[in-house]
Structure 1
Amino acid sequence: MAMTASSNLDNSRTGEAFTTVKKCLVLFGVIGVVVLGTVAATAFAGQQTTPFMWIRAVIFPALAPLFLRMTARAEAGSYEAFGRLRTISTVMPIAVIGVDLIPGICPPWYAALQGLSALAVLPVAFLTRSGALKAAFPKR
């Protein structure tokens, strides 16, 4: 049986935190679309692109709607969705930036754009650990 969050979920601070989370995730998606467009334009211009670049450029914008759905479920009180959102927002920026720092895996411009998209998720990690959201989702 799924548990739902406390009555603090109706708090205005909680609502503001979730609004900011959604804005960050929309920004993540928008940057992902920019990265995909840039990779496509680079390939169209005859410059070298790699399967790694294409795969990540396609995956990131596809993740944004999934993250937003997870956020909506958390906002509705789902502990599971909140826990997933909290974990993903913590691990993803570290993993993306860590992989991009591997020498030769991608050009610097690509690493910079992907880093920006990962940094758009970073505030979500902090917000999901903030007082308002911690109060809405107390430890079980």
Structure 2
Amino acid sequence: MRERIAYTFWTVLTIKALWLPFIFLLPLSFIWFELFCRLGVAALLVPAGVVLHEILHILFLPDGVPIEVERHTLFVRVHIDGYLSPIRSLFAALLPGMLLPLFGMLVYVVDPILALPLLVHMLSLPVDLHHWYVGVRDGDA
């Protein structure tokens, strides 16, 4: 389990496009440092949120299920090699996209800028549902 999580962690963090929001904010540090700090933390939550999203997919799968983590340009795909019941795989597919926005709504009360990277994970629900359906239809899940 640790190997799968570590491999997913480094696979996601090597996607250079996830770091672009933070790099574009660097000139703001000379103009308005307080806003730079808030936006900088929010920009660093983008790759951290994607890592957490993919690791949650893996954590909701049973230990014995063989998986393969693949990198596709900007996205990471967790491919299940063994058999898993459709309901269990639906649970593993949709829960990360529902938990992170829920946590983002709690953070929104404190700071809306910091909540945005977590709320964006709602957009992953249709993609995760589509990949679950294709996997069940083709007999992969």
* TM-score interval, smaller chain: 0.3 to 0.5
Could you state the TM-score of these two structures normalised by the residue count of structure 2?
0.44
Larger % of strand: which?
2
More RCO (CA 8 Å, sep 6+) = 1
Could you state the TM-score of these two structures normalised by the residue count of structure 1?
0.44
